[in-house]
Chains A and B, each alone.
Chain A
């Protein structure tokens, strides 16, 4: 103590106490979720990754997947800002039009929101992606029809989407995209229509679909569309 000198030791203690007091005064200020932010432009998004558009796409995709799940504070999808979310979908679409990652999340994850009225940006996005010429991209338009018809109960929108879906028909595709308009217009019950649509998407795409996507669809059919009694009787749902 003597060699250091009392003023230096006092100065150190004062600095230490000041530091502790400052940190305690801000102890109540915690990281909080400020909802989905507006999306940047594609130029800004790729600049943040030194012009690597693919890396920007992949990193933003993981960020989208993690929105609302930071610091252990899980948020309900109904609390998300879906207008901003739609901006992110279209940003990602500008960075990569070939990947199925964002359509997958839009359909199966964000499409499960507790408030179906939020689904318009999701459906608009899937409508655009579903009309791309790539192999099996039309499946996303099928998902858009499903969301509009079954979750949103917006018949006019579903019919308009079914029109777009029919236009994507090419030889070699299953017939249901052509028949979708008739299926929607029929007087089948909501659940029957939903079951039929999901089953057809699953049947026609299971060869090229990622196993996780197949699992998501099976889970949706068996645990959301079907009642527990129907689930027990459906061979598709064994083990679900």
Chain B
């Protein structure tokens, strides 16, 4: 890993005002959540926290994905990548330095969101569920930022890379529901075409991370998390990051400049 490259990524984020954008959209989302939550007759705090955890989480993530995708494609278009690879830095080191840089940005975004949500969760004391949610959402951001890096390295257009990353995120968040539907279809008589679709969805689920289990909003309100949930978040983060980083390195090593 090259510290200089990591600093370069962080500097680009500051120059593009990515962090300010994420902070601003998070604050705006918080205000909207307070406004919407106050319409509830009772349990207003729980409504505000749910809206923030569900809504602001996606807004910050979109900011992060847009930065990673456009930064990476711009680096290719301006031939920064070719220039950097002429320096004494290996292709694996190049990818790992970017992974660290993007992961730091993801952790900062996740920490800011978690801070806002925890400030709003006034109805109860700080409990383990809140800690796991904050940890889970940060790991989710790290996963998605590195998936965006992978797609931006593989696909030539920033638009298709951005859409692919968001598609990956939506599918990963919904995979639990989709598997429930495919399980139901598997037990239905007939429905041949839908069974083929179910088979395809099952195949996709082998690769996708279970982001629906990473940071559950109900943890913020009711707590009640167990060791297995902590270990799942850690394992999911570690294993999927290993997969996506190695895929990015393989792609860059095969690339001809």
Are B51 and A58 neighbours in the complex by a CB distance under 8 Å? yes
Are A99 and B176 neighbours in the complex by a CB distance under 8 Å? no
Are B173 and A51 neighbours in the complex by a CB distance under 8 Å? yes
Q: Which residue of B lies closest to A49 (CB)?
A: B54
Are A51 and B53 neighbours in the complex by a CB distance under 8 Å? no
A93 interface residue per 8 A CB criterion: no
Q: Would you call the interface of chain B mostly helix, strand, loop, or mixed?
A: helix
Are A105 and B41 neighbours in the complex by a CB distance under 8 Å? yes
Are B42 and A43 neighbours in the complex by a CB distance under 8 Å? no
Contact of A55 among B53, B176, B180 (CB under 8 A): B53
Count contacts between A and B, CB distance < 8 Å.
Answer: 79
Across-interface contacts of B149 in A (CB, < 8 A): none
Q: Once the chains are docked, how many angstroms separate the CA of A57 from the CA of B216?
A: 13
Are B40 and A65 neighbours in the complex by a CB distance under 8 Å? yes
**With known contacts A55-B51, A62-B36, A212–B218 Cβ distance under 8 A:** no
Q: Which residue of B lies closest to A61 (CB)?
A: B40
Are A213 and B46 neighbours in the complex by a CB distance under 8 Å? no
Q: Once the chains are docked, how many angstroms separate the CA of A133 from the CA of B243?
A: 44
**What per-residue 1/0 map shows which CB atoms of B215-243 lie under 8 Å from chain A?**
01110111000000000000000000000
Contact of B218 among A53, A105, A213 (CB under 8 A): A53
Residue of B46, B175, B216 contacting most chain A CB atoms (<10 Å):
B46
Q: Which residue of B lies closest to A216 (CB)?
A: B41
Q: Which residue of B lies closest to A108 (CB)?
A: B41
A100 interface residue per 8 A CB criterion: yes
| A interface residues (Cβ-Cβ under 8 A, vs B) | 43-44, 46-47, 49-55, 57-58, 61-62, 65, 96, 98-101, 104-105, 109, 210, 212-213
